[in-house]
Structures are given as C-alpha cells and as structure tokens.
C-alpha cells in the first residue's frame, strides 16, 4: 500500500468515527475520481481552491449547457458563457468548500499532511 492509500484509509477511518454521514464525507465525485486513479484526499482534508474547482466545475458546466439550450434567437456570447461558468463554479464550489472546511474544524480533523 502506497503512502496515498495509507493516508486515504486513515482519513476515512477518522471520518467514520465522527457523526458525519458517509454520503457527506464520501461524495460520488471523489469515489469516481479514485476509481480512475486520481490521488486526491477526501473533501474534509482538501484545501479550499481544489475543493471549489472539483465541486463547482461540474455545476458550472451544467449552467453552460443550460445557457446554450436557451440560445434560440440570441447570438452566442463567449464572455457571457465563461462568466456564467466562473460564477456558478465560485458560488456553488465556495459554498460546498465552506461546509467541508467548517465540518473539518468542528470535528477537529487533522490536516492531510499530519496523517
């Protein structure tokens, strides 16, 4: 077992001991990324910027898809589309990262480097 796998198992063991529900500390996005070999810590142990991007970008691109479906008679605006992706990513990802960082602090979880 490599260092990442050891830390991941240790962090998941710590999270299981808290009152946090499994669907909160192990969201499908992370299980999907781990299945494809991406070495990323669980969300409670991740820093804010990567967490904003991982959790917010899928919703940003969903917003982009909705924007493109509403282009019946309007011309496509790259500025509007990119602004939409950035705003949705920042707001949704920021809210989710705030939740995870607050939860990690409340449960006194150590930093990823301390595992």
**pLDDT tens digits along 64-111:** 888 888 777 778 788 888 888 899 899 999 999 999 999 999 999 999
Cα(60)–Cα(11) distance, integer angstroms: 29
Q: Rounded to two decimals, what is the model's pTM?
A: 0.84
**Burial degree of 91 (CB within 10 A; 0-12, 13-18, 19+):** middle
Query: Based on the structure, what is the number of domains in the chain?
Result: 1
Pick the closest to residue 25 from 96, 82, 115 (CA basis).
96
Enclosing domain of residue 9: 3-114
Angle at CA of residue 40, ends 66 and 104, nearest 5°: 90
Q: Residue 16 has which token pair? A: 């299981």
* Residue-wise pLDDT tens digits, 33-59: 999 999 999 999 999 999 999 999 998
79 alpha carbon, distance to own chain's centre: 25
């Amino acid at each position: 077992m490599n260092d990442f796998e050891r830390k991941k198992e240790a962090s998941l063991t710590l999270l299981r001991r808290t009152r946090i529900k499994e669907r909160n500390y192990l969201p499908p996005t992370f299980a999907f990324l781990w299945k494809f070999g991406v070495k990323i810590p669980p969300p409670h142990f991740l820093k804010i910027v990567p967490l904003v991007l991982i959790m917010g970008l899928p919703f940003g691109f969903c917003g982009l898809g909705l924007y493109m479906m509403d282009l019946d008679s309007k011309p496509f605006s790259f500025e509007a589309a990119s602004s939409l992706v950035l705003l949705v990513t920042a707001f949704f990802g920021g809210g989710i990262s705030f939740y995870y960082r607050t939860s990690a602090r409340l449960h006194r979880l150590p930093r990823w480097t301390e595992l």
